[in-house]
Amino acid sequence: MPEVKQSQLLLVTTSFAKLEEAKLMAQALVEQHLAACVQIHEGVHSVYRWEGKLCEEREALLVAKTVSSQWHAIQQFIKNNHPYDLPEIIGMTPAEYDQAYGQWIQLEVSSSS
């Protein structure tokens, strides 16, 4: 991942076969202050090749709002708690976003209560 400012907004995506698994991950990420907000998009249609076989699945896509300084922690948390053998974990930094919203996210992920 390219070097970015520590307070830069970061969107982290991962997907789940079951909505309930996505909900549990979302709650854990917010409770652990790894994300300020998590959205779950249900009914995503995924097409991919896994172990040489073409697969099509309905999945729930999770998008966590955090900051770049949390990248390694959130990445490791997802790896350690995800049901997939190889979970999708993608971090994207938006070019533009509302600064007040970004400050709220920074405050939420840096608080420990």
**Is 25 inside any structural domain?**
yes
Annotate 84-110 with DSSP letters as a single string. SSS---EEE--S---HHHHHHHHHHHH
3-class state of residue 50 by DSSP: strand
For residue 112, the model assigns a pLDDT of: 64
Tell me how far apart the alpha carbons of residues 13 and 30 are, in angstroms, rounded to a whole number: 14
**Is 88 inside any structural domain?**
yes
Number of domains in the chain: 1
Q: What is the CATH number of the domain that holds 74?
A: 3.30.70.120
Mean pLDDT in consecutive groups of 10 residues from the start of the chain, 113 residues: 62 98 98 98 96 96 96 98 96 94 94 65
**Is 4 inside any structural domain?**
no
Domain of 87?
A: 12-110
